[in-house]
Amino acid sequence: MIKSLDTLEFKFPWRSYQAELLKHFNSHIEDNHFHVIAPPGSGKTILGIEILRKLGKKTLILAPTLTIRNQWEDRMQSFFTETSNFEAFSFDVKSPSDITFSTYQSLHAFYKTFEDKNDYYQFFKTHNIETLVLDEAHHLKNAWWTCLMDLKKNSVFHIIALTATPPYDSSRIELSKYFNLCGEVDDEIAVPDLVRESDLCPHQDYVYFSKPEDLEINFIVDYRRKIADFNDEILKDEDFISFLTNHRFYKNPNWHLDELYTDTQYFSAILIFLNACGFEIDHQKLEVLGFEQKEMIQFPKLDLQWLGILFQNLLVTDREQLIEQEAYVLTLEKKLRRLNVFEKNTIDFVGEQLLYKSLSNSPSKLKSIVSIVNAERESLKTDLNCVILTDYIRKEFLNISSEKIDDINKIGVIPIFQYVRHCCDKPEELAVLSGSIVIIHKSILKAFEAIVSLDDFSFSPLEIDASFLLVTAKGKSKNSIVHIITQLFENGNIKVLIGTKSLLGEGWDAPSINSLILASFIGSFVSSNQMRGRAIRKDLDSPDKTGNIWHLACVDPTNLDGGKEVDTLKRRFEAFVGVTNSTIPYISNGFDRLNIPEKIPVESIETLNDSTLKRATNRILISEKWNNAIGKGTKLTKEVKVLKTGNLPYKKQQQIYYFDALRFFVVDLFFAFMLFYVEFAIESFNLILQRGLLYFIYAFLAAFVAGFGYKFYKALKLYLRHGYLYKKIGKMGLAILDTLNELSYLTSTRNAITVNSHLVGKGDVVCNLDGANAFENSLFSKALTQLLEPIDSPRYLIIKTSAFRKRLDIENFYAIPEIFGDKKEKALVFQKHWSHYLGRNKLIYTRNIEGRKLLLKARLFHVYNAFKEVTKEVMVWK
């Protein structure tokens, strides 16, 4: 133990959620990792200092910026020292002390100075540094992780990872690196805890939709028409069909098994295309995949995603293997380039990049911003404190006149400034703050001078409006001007501030913000959550503050679901926890909580926006909903939601999947039987008199089997395949939970945890643990999701089967979750508990020839759901 750390002691009472997190610290740190999600305002810096104090080891604290690095030292001296400052610290990683504060950049630069990396590892051993604190750990998806991973592999450290939002939407490789370094999430401080303790204000997210300009609509419609024409033509193209039927995968699958096993989607795309154009697929080709002659495959529809996979492989991934057909492949390439679907070695029939770029940049969003600002000003009057964040500055529009404002065709800081200046009331309350351009209204010069001397800055009137001034610092850093403009905003001299998310999105603090408009379309979960965090901080000067967060989306008129922009918003909302818009409010993450219709036709946008603006003005209701919803729970619980599939109306879908299909059959059979019996008895009365009662019974049974046998077979097969789905998923959950317990993953008592599985909404199934902690919930939900998702490449498969099931062609394939699939011993434990709850099965190892064949067969069974969202992990306050 380092003696100097004993002198540190937190001077204030711990907040309830902080005390709860610290209570479980010892059990979480047993694997040398403590990974915590803590939103802005939760005091995660103070928690980090308390944790390193508890560990009592020499510590290196790493932060993404110098500002955040310095905050650590300031918090330590302010909150953990009573009479004198703590002296045993350093800001230089090359000269470490008991506590060293540094940045990821500095460590990375230090790492590169060592030619022999063994000297780098030895440096930390020599200085006895045994604890690493990684602040804002989501930044580690960048190159900085390399020097830390190398260090971790060659030494043993306690790793404390703190973040507001893990980078869940990064690539699988980056996310894997992140969790390998930081460990699984151990605990989370929930937003509802912070709202309850008044450390965050009540808040709500709103989506304001816009319709593309006529030029954009014409472009989209023309693009979709060209793709549809190409799709129709290629399905009838005899040359292309011949090209595919002569492809090595289809012509001689036995010769290319390794390739087939490696890239199932490519082979699937070939089969799906041939099936779509009416080509009869030779069943012998499927036998190599483990399908028997009698088995049938339900091929999915050939949509643009499957077409994209097919051509991505033909034109890029597999091209070297098709060198003999290069001339023909080149003609395909030229055709797709003319359609603008093949650029930078990427096929995109959906138009995600091309159309998304057009819609995300749509000037229609400028009108949306004007509508929101006007509505918020009318609602809040002088209390308005609005910030608008976007991605680009667009200086080329700085001197555009009001008469030519409609010529603005891109969204950015200056276009937003021009629209708000021209279309909104009180332009004198408007300002711009970015790294390279600052604009204020001349009416606030006196307030500016009250903060700093005007001699330190130059002020140039704008060409198009002399009442606005361009502000330039004379030898001052940009941080100085940021501080001044922020203070003017906090003082109420500026009511609408437009800036870039790169400058104001992370680390910037202006507690008075009560309306935030996110006009940013480049971003991840992390950046979106950081920007959103600006508006939900409490304001000591306004204890009744509520925050409105506005998200903009330009709707694709050719897509009833809203298109790519709405999809992007839906993914972002997975990282946001908030209160629902429902009559009976509850707290959850996800887009569904806003109660926005699934289908968003263009003609309904105006009505939808009017309703949203009306709801947003009722800020008292937001506070009431938070208070009501918080009172219904004590913690955030992670649930796995199995989504209703298919296009059948809910009542019919319900009968097939979620009710006992056999029970419906019995009811149906009873009425049919009564009619059949009466009719048969009347018609066969003479038969009883002539042949006797026994003959009548035989005749009746024969007629019954002929009339109802097939119906009974279908109902029984349906029941065996689906049964009570929510009960079956509950049993899967029990198998996972008991396996976690037997393998000692649980830190809580097994008897204190129960599996809860039930139906919600319009037919979704929800499954979660009651009585588990955040770490156990995380392990459980991840395992259940992997079990239910379309099969990828697990080491072990479990097949729910029996001789009876196999005869009826109803084998079910499931992937053994990764946590149990790394070793056979663990897989066998899971199989044991599966057998207990779900009956007979086979365990298949997929890394040998027979196993890979069954794996491919399993993938093809799941191919119908390849691009569908089958499950979703949801956070709910309970």
Q: What is the pLDDT of residues 111-125, one digit of tens each?
A: 999 999 999 999 999
The pLDDT tens digits for 549-607 are: 999 999 999 888 898 889 888 888 887 899 999 888 999 999 999 999 988 988 999 99
Q: Which residue reads 């028409």 in tokens?
A: 225
Higher per-residue pLDDT: 18 or 722: 18
Sort 4 into a burial class: Cβ within 10 Å, 0-12 / 13-18 / 19+. Answer: middle
Angle at Cα 250 formed by Cα 293 and Cα 289, nearest 5°? Answer: 40
Q: Of 177-181, 609-613, 620-624, 679-683, where does mean pLDDT reach its minimum?
A: 679-683
Residue 300: the pLDDT is 79
Cα separation of 748 and 684, whole Å? 68
pLDDT value for 295: 56
Mean pLDDT for 602-622 is 95
Give the least confident one: 279-288, 462-471, 593-602.
Answer: 279-288
| pLDDT, greater one: 240 or 351 | 240
Q: How far apart are CA 798 and CA 813, in angstroms?
A: 6
Does 658 or 396 have the greater pLDDT score? 396
Angstrom distance (rounded) from CA 426 to CA 420: 10
Q: What band does 798 get if pLDDT is binned at 50, 70 and 90?
A: very high
Give which of 116, 114, 71 is closest to 94, Cα–Cα.
Answer: 114
pLDDT of residue 263: 77
Task: Count the residues in the chain.
Answer: 878
The answer to whether the CB of 464 falls within 8 A of the CB of 417 is no
The answer to whether residue 104 scores a pLDDT higher than 90 is yes
Residue 429, Cβ neighbours under 10 Å: how many?
A: 21
pLDDT > 70 fraction of the chain, expressed in percent and rounded: 85
Alpha-carbon gap, residue 310 to 308, rounded angstroms: 5
Please choose, from the candidates 253, 256, 259, 294, the residue with its C-alpha nearest in 3D space to the C-alpha of residue 271: 253
Cβ atoms within 10 Å of 194's Cβ, excluding its own: 23
Q: Lowest-pLDDT range, 90-94, 139-143, 186-190, 353-357?
A: 139-143
Distance separating alpha carbons of residues 862 and 734, to the nearest angstrom: 24
pTM higher than the cut 0.85: no
Cα separation, 236 vs 818, in Å, equals: 43
For residue 122, the model assigns a pLDDT of: 94
Q: Do 180 and 149 touch, CB atoms closer than 8 A?
A: yes
At the topology level of CATH, where does 3-189 sit?
A: Rossmann fold (3.40.50)
Q: What is the CA radius of gyration of the chain?
A: 32
What's 203-213+362-630's CATH class? alpha beta
Q: What is the 3-state secondary structure (H, E, C) of 436-448?
A: CCEEEEHHHHHHH
Q: pLDDT-based confidence at 478, cuts 50/70/90?
A: low
- Say what the pLDDT of residue 801 is: 67
CA distance 371 to 419: 11
Q: Are 820 and 833 in contact (CB under 8 A)?
A: no
Q: At 749, give phi and psi (nearest 5°).
A: -70, 135
- The DSSP result for 770-785, as a single string, is ES--HHHHHHHHHHHH
Range with top average pLDDT, 370-374, 425-429, 632-636, 695-699: 370-374
In this prediction, residue 553 carries a pLDDT of 94
- Sorted by where each begins, the domain ranges of the chain are 3-189, 203-213+362-630, 216-350, 660-721, 734-877
Beta-carbon contacts of 794 under 8 Å, excluding residues fewer than 6 positions away, are 786, 815, 816, 818, 821, 846, 855
> How do residues 374-390 score in pLDDT, each as one tens digit?
999 999 999 999 999 99
Instruction: Name the amino acid, one letter, at 782.
Output: K
d(CA 335, CA 229): 12
What's the confidence (pLDDT) of residue 159?
A: 96
Considering only CA atoms, which of 138, 180, 173 is closest in space to residue 38? 138
Report the Cα–Cα distance between both ends of the chain, in Å, rounded. Answer: 40
pLDDT of 467 strictly over 90:
yes
CB distance 552 to 589 below 8 Å = no
pLDDT recorded at residue 395? 95
The average pLDDT across 59-87 equals 90
More confident call, 21 vs 660: 21
Q: Residues 761-786: what's their mean pLDDT? A: 86
Confidence of residue 359 (pLDDT cuts 50, 70, 90): confident
Digit-coded pLDDT (tens) for 519-547: 987 655 566 777 788 889 899 899 999 99
Asked whether residue 650 carries a pLDDT value surpassing 50, the answer given is no
**DSSP string of 114-130, one letter each residue:** -SSHHHHHHHHHHTTEE
